[in-house]
Structure 1
C-alpha cells in the first residue's frame, strides 16, 4: 500500500510494507541488499544496477546480478552492516523467520522492508512502492504500462478462441502432494491469460500461501477434462515429466495418454516480475501450438 500520496502531491513520502510497517522516504535509498530474487530482478529493471550492493546466493537473472556479493538471512548482522546498506528488501515470511537479525539491523538505522505480492494488481502496487523507495517512480509506472500493454496483446491473441475450445489444464505446484495453485494466484493468471481453462478452479489455498492442496482422488475425478498437464519445475518443485507420467493412476489422465505433459520454469510464472509475460508466451505455445506454426 502506498501511503501519503494526496491529490496534487508530486511524490509519496512513505510506503507501507506487507507486514504493516510504514517506511518514511525522505530521500531515495541508494545502497540496497535484496534477499528475494524478484526484488533483485525488479531493481535491475528499474535501472538500479549501481544501487544494488548485495543479492541472494541463488540469483540467476539478470546475469549481472551474479556479479554482486551474496547474502543470506543466515549471515550475521555484522556482515550486513559492514556492507553499509541503507535498505534491506526481504519477503514477509523472512521477517518472522529471522526476526532477531532484522531487529539488530534496524537498531543500527538500516531500513528493512518486507514485500511479496500474490496477485497481478498487488504486483503493480509493489512495483510502485519500489519506485518510491528508490526514487524511480517514473520508471515503475513505465513498468506497469509495459506490462499492461503486454497483457493486452496476449489477450488479443486468444480472443479468437472459443472459450469452449480452450484446453482444460491442471497446473501442478508440488508434485509429491498433487497440489495446484489457488484460482487467483499468479501462475493461474498466467495460464488463463495464455488461453487455458483451469480444471481445478475449486481449489482452496492454504492460509498465507497460493499453494492449494488438491489430492489424487479429486484430480482423477476430473481426469477426462485435463487436456494439458502443466507443472512448474525448479527449486520449489524438482520434478520431471517421467515423475508425472509414471505416478499412480497417471494412465487415467487424458493429458498423460495424449502426451500433453509439460514443465514450466517456475521463475516465469511465480515471480512478480516482467518475465510473467514470457511465461504467458511460453504456456501459450504449449496450449495452442497450431497458432505458432
Structure 2
C-alpha cells in the first residue's frame, strides 16, 4: 500500500471519528412527560404511529406527519388509514408493528390492561390531551418531537398565535358585546368552564360568557350549570349558543320546548345558534375556525365568510 493511499485512509478515519464525535455532541435523547405522568425518553422520532384519538391524527396530518402514521381511530374522518380501537385485542396492534401508540387519559382509565399489555411487549404508549389553549400549543410541540416534525409543529404554534392576535385586535374594537350562554350538553344544562378551549373561543370572538362562574367537574372542562341559575340570567342573554355533535345532539325545537326557557330572551327572539363541537372542543388548529364561526354568529358585520375566514371591515 503506497504512502499516499495510507495517508488518504488515515484522513478518512480521522474524518469519520470527528463526524462521530460531533454527532455525539449534538445528538441527544428527547424526553417528554405525558398526561399520566409517564416519562418517555427517546433517541429518535417514532416512525410507525397508531393514533387512537382523532385530535392526535388531525394534528399529525396538519404538521405533515402522515408518513409516520400507520393507523387511526375508528372515529377519524378523511383518512384511509387502517382503523384501530381500544376495544381491539393486543394481537391486532402487534400485527401492525407500531413503535408508538398515542392515546388519551380516558382510554388509559378505561382500558388500562391494553396499555399495560402493549408496554409489556415493548411498544411505547403516550397519553396526551390538553385542557387549555396554552397546554394545546405545548401538546403540538410534543407531537412534533415524537413524530420528527419539530419545525412544523412550532410553525403551527406560531401561525396560531399570529392569527389569535389578529382576531383579538379586531374584537377589541367592539363596544357592546353580546351576552352568551354556551351549552355543552343539554342534559342537566352543562356548560363550559372558563378555562376551557370553547370558552376561550367565545371570548376571542368577542362574546361575554354569562356562565363564567361555572365550576367544572373534577378532571373535566364541562360544568353542570343548572336551570335555576340559567333562568335567573335569562333576560340578559343575547345569544343561546349550542355545541352540536356527538356529545350533544339536541335540536332547536327541544331547546324551545324546554320548560322555563321562555324566560331566556335569546330563545324568545330566535337567537339559538349551533357550532360544530369539532371546531370548539378539540385541541387542533380548527379551533380558530370555531372562533370565526362564533364571530359570524355574534357580529356578522365584522366577521365574514371569506376564503381567509376573517375580514376587517371599515367602521
TM-score by length of 2: 0.86
Q: Which residue of 1 aligns with 2:68?
A: 51
Cα deviation, residue 290, structure 1: 2.6
Q: Which residue of 1 aligns with 2:134?
A: 121
Deviations 1:137-169 (A, max 9, x none): 11111010000011011111211112xx10000
- Pair 1:228-2:211 in alignment: no
Q: Say which of 260, 263, 266 aligns to 2:274.
A: 263
- Pair 1:109-2:122 in alignment: yes
Q: Which residue of 2 aligns with 1:286?
A: 297
**1:113/1:252 Cα in 2 relative to 1: closer, same or farther (>3 Å)?**
same
Structure number with bigger Rg: 2
Structure 2: where are the runs of 5+ without partners?
A: 1-24, 305-315
SS of 1:106 mapped into structure 2: helix
Q: Say which of 161, 166, 184 aligns to 1:148.
A: 161
Q: Which residue of 2 aligns with 1:170?
A: 181
Structure 1: where are the runs of 5+ without partners?
A: 1-7
Structure 2 Cα separation of the partners of residues 52 and 95 of structure 1: 21
SS of 2:258 mapped into structure 1: coil
Instruction: State the superposition RMSD in angstroms.
Output: 1.4
Kept in 2, the 8 Å contact 1:90–1:114? The answer is yes
Structure 1 Cα separation of the partners of residues 252 and 126 of structure 2: 38
Q: Say which of 219, 236, 247 aligns to 2:230.
A: 219
SS of 1:237 mapped into structure 2: coil
Displaced runs of 4 or more, over 4 A: 8-12
> In the comparison of the two structures, how many residue pairs are matched?
280
Kept in 2, the 8 Å contact 1:28–1:133? The answer is yes
SS of 1:170 mapped into structure 2: strand
Structure 2 Cα separation of the partners of residues 238 and 34 of structure 1: 26
Q: Which residue of 2 aligns with 1:37?
A: 54
If asked which structure has higher relative contact order (CA below 8 Å, sep 6+), I would say 1
Kept in 2, the 8 Å contact 1:182–1:188? The answer is yes
